[in-house]
């Protein structure tokens, strides 16, 4: 790619935020652009590298909290660098910067499987502002989460005269209200791993439809559905416009479309919408949840998993007003506690649980 440099750029600081961010890209323009955005957002100190090998050398001297990592680079590619970065710095948070082709999507999922926590697709024509927002907010959210975990871990090793107290076992509440007729799930950053663990633990005996919104662009969601089928044994696929919902199937909102549910007599069907993005996302959790409140009323069990931002909170409020139950992933097990935390802050979360306990709640509520 044109504009490749072999020099390790020195760190730059704006003197504001406390994060350390490493931007890795073989394009001089892309490196400069992302570094400038992070600096303008006053997130902290930025360093850059032109490939995976340079990134490893930089990490030996630069205490990065977050790495933005291009996948397609010479010398050492992004997805080849992921395991080596994490072997050196297991606590670091890696955001992959991906192309939009199907081949790029497959490499992105490979990087996520290897330990990257999130990705951002490179922009198409007219998408630069959304790309900037996604980069900056992911760095901000992951950096804040990294800092809070470091503080918690440091506190845990301080000497104390008090005896250690074992954590009490997680208590999963008994289902309340009407038995759910559908399970709805919203997720973003850290979602693919959480979804795989959740659905595998729920198991194949679930006897209601499952509708799932994971923030992802087109060409990525079909791969997500295929991966979830392989990982969980459940039938997972992208929802199709007009398709009738059937028990035991998992319908993934396709990239670049909102997935809604409409009632037609005694049956329920998918409606795909090209309405404007919400929270910079299409698909978005809020419109899906709002449609379920109208279509099912109280007979919805909604789960909000790990993710940055507040998507899902307003939709969860609509579900709560309709009498539905909303359970969210707990902060400790979330990669980012933005979306679940927003539901809790809105006062509409029925319960807060780790992923495995959420699966038990679903089994109690939705398994024959």
Q: Which two tokens stand for residue 60?
A: 């030996």
At residue 18's C-alpha, the angle toward residues 13 and 22, to 5°, is 60
Q: Examine the residue annotation and report whether 311 is marked as an active-site residue of this protein.
A: yes
Active site (annotated) includes residue 188: yes
Report the 3 state secondary structure along 295-317: HHCCCEEEEECCECCCCCHHHHH
Annotated active-site residue 13? The verdict is no
SS3 181: coil
Looking at residue 123, its pLDDT comes to: 82
Domains within the chain, CATH numbers bracketed: 9-151 (3.40.50.2300), 182-366 (3.40.50.180)
C-alpha 230/C-alpha 236 separation (Å) is 9
Which residues have a Cβ under 8 Å from the Cβ of 309 and sit 6 or more positions away? 137, 141, 188, 279, 281, 338, 339, 342
Q: How confident is the model at residue 198 (pLDDT cuts 50, 70, 90)?
A: very high
β pairing state of 44-49 and 9-13: antiparallel
Which one from 215, 258, 268, 279 is the annotated catalytic residue? 215
Among the listed residues 77, 121, 188, 320, the single catalytic one is 188
Report yes or no: 258 and 275 within 8 Å, Cβ to Cβ. yes
Tens digits of per-residue pLDDT, 34-89? 999 999 999 999 999 999 999 999 999 999 999 999 999 999 999 899 999 999 99
What is the signed CA dihedral for 237, 238, 242, 245, rounded to 10 degrees? 40
Prior bond to 283 cis, omega within 30?
yes
Average of per-residue pLDDT values in the chain: 89
Looking up tokens 């490179």 gives 122
How far apart, in Å, do the first and last CA atoms of the chain sit? 55
Phi, psi of 329 (to 5 degrees): -70, 145
Single out the catalytic residue among 26, 193, 286, 311.
311
Q: Give the Cα separation of 280 and 58 in Å (integer).
A: 33
* Neighbour tally for 12: CB within 10 Å: 13
pLDDT for position 217? 92
pTM: 0.87
pLDDT at 171 (0 to 100): 74
DSSP 109: H
- Does 351 have pLDDT greater than 60? yes
Strands 182-187 and 300-304 come out as: parallel
Q: Which of 304, 308, 300 is nearest to 337 (CA)?
A: 308
């Amino acid at each position: 790619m044109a504009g490749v440099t072999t020099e390790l750029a020195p760190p730059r600081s704006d003197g504001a935020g406390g994060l350390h961010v490493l931007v890795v890209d073989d394009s001089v323009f892309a490196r400069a652009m992302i570094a400038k955005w992070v600096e303008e957002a006053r997130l902290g100190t930025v360093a850059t590298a032109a490939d995976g090998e340079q990134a490893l050398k930089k990490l030996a001297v630069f205490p990065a909290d977050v790495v933005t990592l291009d996948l397609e680079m010479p010398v050492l590619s992004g997805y080849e660098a992921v395991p080596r970065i994490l072997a050196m710095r297991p606590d670091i948070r890696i955001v992959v910067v991906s192309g939009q082709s199907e081949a790029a999507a497959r490499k992105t999922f490979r990087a996520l499987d290897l330990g990257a926590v999130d990705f951002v697709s490179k922009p198409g024509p007219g998408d630069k502002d959304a790309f900037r927002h996604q980069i900056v907010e992911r760095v901000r959210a992951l950096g804040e989460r990294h800092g809070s975990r470091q503080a918690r871990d440091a506190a845990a090793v301080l000497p104390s005269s008090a005896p250690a107290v074992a954590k009490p076992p997680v208590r999963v509440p008994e289902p309340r209200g009407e038995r759910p007729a559908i399970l709805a799930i919203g997720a973003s950053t850290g979602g693919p791993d959480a979804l795989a663990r959740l659905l595998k633990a729920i198991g194949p005996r679930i006897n209601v439809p499952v509708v799932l919104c994971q923030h992802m662009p087109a060409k990525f969601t079909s791969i997500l559905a295929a991966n979830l089928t392989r990982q969980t044994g459940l039938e997972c696929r992208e929802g199709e416009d007009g398709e009738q919902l059937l028990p035991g199937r998992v319908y993934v909102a396709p990239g670049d479309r909102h997935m809604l549910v409409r009632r037609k007599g005694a049956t329920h069907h998918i409606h795909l919408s090209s309405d404007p993005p919400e929270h910079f996302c299409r698909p978005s959790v809020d419109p899906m949840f709002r449609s379920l409140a109208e279509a099912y009323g109280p007979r919805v069990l909604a789960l909000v998993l790990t993710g940055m931002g507040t998507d899902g909170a307003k939709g969860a409020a609509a579900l709560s007003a309709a009498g539905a139950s909303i359970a969210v992933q707990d902060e400790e097990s979330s990669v980012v506690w933005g979306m679940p935390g927003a539901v809790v802050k809105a006062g509409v979360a029925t319960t807060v649980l780790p992923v495995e306990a959420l699966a038990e709640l679903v089994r109690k509520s939705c398994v024959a």
